[in-house]
Structure 1
């Protein structure tokens, strides 16, 4: 019996879990908890669109982080096309970090 394709919500959850394995090389916190991921949209076909930002326009990982996000997302069964857009509005600030990230970095 063929396995049913995951729903968009299930795929979104899997994408978020994959994003939690991507780390900014300068900060020991994953990019999801850092608040660098603004949106993860998954449609019925399994196509994924991710809007993310970087801590600054001069981020040394400006090329590698979006590529790693795309790569890890494509590894998920059921994912179709993957689009990763780096956006600068709103600009990232420490307020975007999760409580977990703030605790880990000693900012609380």
Structure 2
């Protein structure tokens, strides 16, 4: 039997989400998580994180820098061994993916 882990992958996943929520879309005053740009966060037993995310548009001005920022911020979490961000446009982002909070913030509700 291995020793008990200090932190489980779910907890680490929550930390990753917290960090992601500190990253904002440059054009919209809402974090990328509430915007619905993060499709999935995977954390494996080795504390490697993979994030599946999208951008508001394929030619988004931060198409290069945003995924990199997400990756770097996740890598800065103590326990994370590695992080990889994969961009997908399937399904394409739409305003329906935004949280109620984001819609409220943007006066859409």
Identify the TM-score tier after normalising by the shorter chain.
Answer: over 0.9
What secondary structure is seen at the aligned counterpart in 2 of 1:100? helix
Q: Distance in 1 between matches of 2:55 and 2:102?
A: 15
Q: Deviations over 1:10-54 (max 9, x none)?
A: 100000000000001000000000000000000111000000000
Output aligned runs, 1:9-88, within 5 Å.
9-88=10-89
Residue pair 1:5, 1:78 contacting (<8 A) in 2 also: no
Could you say which residue in structure 2 is the equivalent of 1:99? Answer: 100
Cα deviation for residue 81 of structure 1 reads 1.5
In the TM superposition, structure 1's runs of 4+ consecutive aligned residues that sit over 4 Å from their partners are: none
Cα deviation for residue 5 of structure 1 reads 3.6
In structure 1, runs of 5+ residues without a counterpart are none
- Across the aligned residues of Structure 1 and Structure 2, the Cα RMSD in angstroms comes to 0.8
The number of aligned residues is 105
In structure 2, runs of 5+ residues without a counterpart are none
Q: Distance in 2 between matches of 1:30 and 1:107?
A: 16
Query: Cα gap change, 1:79/1:5 in structure 2, threshold over 3 Å: closer, same or farther?
Result: farther
